[in-house]
Amino acid sequence: MSTWDDLAAHQASVASRPLAELFENDNRAADFSTRMGEVLFDYSKTNIDATARALLIRLAEEAGVAARRDAMFAGAKINQTEGRAVLHTALRNLDASVTVDGADVMPAVREVHARMTTFARDLRAGRFTGQGGAITDVVNIGIGGSDLGPAMGARALAPYADGPRAHFVSNVDPAHIHDVLARLDPATTLVIVASKTFTTQETMANAQAARDWMAAGVADPAAQFAAVSTAEGKTAAFGIPPERVFGFADWVGGRYSMWGPVGLSLMIAIGPERFDDFLAGGRAMDDHFRTTPFVDNLPVLLALVGIWHNQICGHATRAVLPYDQHLARLPAYLQQLEMESNGKRVAMDGTMLAMPSGPVVWGEPGTNGQHAFYQLIHQGTRVIPCEFLLARAGHEPDLAPMHRLLAANCLAQSEALMRGRSLDEARALLAKDGLTGPELERQARHRVFPGNRPSTTLLYPKLTPFTLGQIIALYEHRVFVEGVILGINSFDQWGVELGKELAATLVPMLEEGADAGAKDASTRMLIDYLRG
């Protein structure tokens, strides 16, 4: 029997065990939680017991997680379908020396980081200005990994933002750029065009629109543009001078790129020193991931909980529920990180995956979600493993009692999910309200909570730049470990290509009325409608 089989057999044998039963062991919470510095990960409210954990760790060992992890950090070309190394970790480990194709890649990384720092400092201090004075607003134009990281980070670290205001435009829907630029003055705005490839249709369309807007407001529009890309020839063709082009290598995947030049808008907003704290947080998680035994290794444990819930228990989705308003964009960020990385049905060796690929990831900040979709989480027919995140303290000391309300709600949800409410408890509550007989019976069933719904909780002292770095690196490595266990390449994204190709064929059909005869009847009907 394989370890997968052992896990399936064990899961079947414990599936009906009430989670509350696990807490009859007084050490349950301590045994099934772990800390990395001041970050606490509690997975005791899951059905993972000592046997399941040992099997899951065996699975990780058999999959070669440690060797592959070390290969990644060492610059080996583990992204096999694209023939690339995977070295986003180098962006936050500036003192390291990492060799790719026989050459140390770090001098170039350090050089760009230093140029970013100087540029951010000059801009924040008013030494680099717009044509109407100091830069007041920075607009990052990018999509996917060239947007979600800095946009999520700027929201997360808003309490530390003391530089120009950061804005983000991603969608090719003209409403997005229109609505953002409408509030800004071109004479005091810097536009950063962030695109690894510098070919992405949405970004190029938005960049062109921004340049037209800038040209209508200032004499020299290119002077207020910067670019972040691996394609320096293309940035020059767009008219951005090399001193404001911040390059990076192809071994930084888009969804892993916020640590380097893609984070420029964030660095400008919070300042280079705090940005470096963010890098230090990521580096601390790297060190933990590299050196900690699996049983206490946060990224490994998060991954094993994920594998248990998705591939072993068959729960197809997981909800990410930050009880932290500043992490409002974390679920969207993780959707790309997790689903673009592990949403694949072909394994690295070309065979079809024999099990589900990575899960559907979704979520909203608590407590908003409670008043929207938690009904289904508590009483629906599907089990949704929930992942709560919560800080011990917020950034609003004057409103600390509200933070306690927030925390109480977070803890209440994981407790309710685990314990549920039995039919007898529901009956007793209704009897207290004066209901009796058939009406009491009829109502009681609707008030039952099945319970036994798993959740994890990640606690941290406060959402500082350092903590955010820890959290983001934690999720990156979790995705990595899950990918290794599933045997897939987490670093390509071929699944986004077909839609891009078809969009290119549709533009002329919508624009110039080109013949749509080759399209299916549904698509033809939709084209006809849109042509008006």
Contact residues for ligand F6P, defined by CB under 6 A: 142-146, 195-197, 200, 203, 254-255, 340, 493, 496
Tokens at 318, concatenated: 């997981």
Q: Reply yes or no on whether 315 is catalytic.
A: no
Nearer to ligand F6P, 63 or 143 (CB): 143
Tokens at 47, concatenated: 């059905």
Nearer to ligand F6P, 109 or 284 (CB): 109
We find the least distance from the C-beta atom of residue 226 to ligand F6P, in angstroms, to be: 15
Please name every residue paired with 25 in a beta bridge, in sequence order, or none if there are none: none
Nearer to ligand F6P, 254 or 394 (CB): 254
Q: Are 323 and 366 spatial neighbours (Cβ–Cβ below 8 Å)?
A: yes
Q: What number of other Cβ atoms are within 10 A of residue 345's Cβ? A: 10
Rounded CA separation 135/91 (Å): 27
Nearer to ligand F6P, 234 or 421 (CB): 234
Q: What CA–CA distances, in Å, run from 257 to 72, 115, 251, 400, 413? A: 15, 17, 10, 34, 34
We find the least distance from the C-beta atom of residue 296 to ligand F6P, in angstroms, to be: 32
Nearer to ligand F6P, 408 or 504 (CB): 504
We find the least distance from the C-beta atom of residue 448 to ligand F6P, in angstroms, to be: 44
Using CB positions, name the residue nearest to ligand F6P: 254
Q: Are 150 and 263 spatial neighbours (Cβ–Cβ below 8 Å)?
A: yes
Rounded CA separation 355/310 (Å): 9
Q: Reply yes or no on whether 500 is catalytic.
A: yes
We find the least distance from the C-beta atom of residue 225 to ligand F6P, in angstroms, to be: 16
Q: Which amino acid is at 7?
A: L
Q: Are 171 and 202 spatial neighbours (Cβ–Cβ below 8 Å)?
A: yes
We find the least distance from the C-beta atom of residue 262 to ligand F6P, in angstroms, to be: 8
Nearer to ligand F6P, 495 or 508 (CB): 495
Q: Reply yes or no on whether 371 is catalytic.
A: yes
Rounded CA separation 313/308 (Å): 6
Nearer to ligand F6P, 200 or 457 (CB): 200
Rounded CA separation 269/138 (Å): 8
Q: Are 306 and 344 spatial neighbours (Cβ–Cβ below 8 Å)?
A: no
Rounded CA separation 364/239 (Å): 40
Q: What DSSP letter does each residue of 217-261 carry, written as one string?
A: T-S-GGGGEEEEES-HHHHHHTT--GGGEEE--TTS-GGG-TTTG
We find the least distance from the C-beta atom of residue 369 to ligand F6P, in angstroms, to be: 26
Tokens at 301, concatenated: 């444990």
Choosing from 340, 364, 387, 482, the catalytic residue is 340
Q: Are 475 and 492 spatial neighbours (Cβ–Cβ below 8 Å)?
A: no
Choosing from 111, 396, 441, 500, the catalytic residue is 500
Distance of alpha carbon 270 from its chain centroid, rounded? Answer: 20
We find the least distance from the C-beta atom of residue 196 to ligand F6P, in angstroms, to be: 4
User: What are the catalytic residues?
Assistant: 340, 371, 500
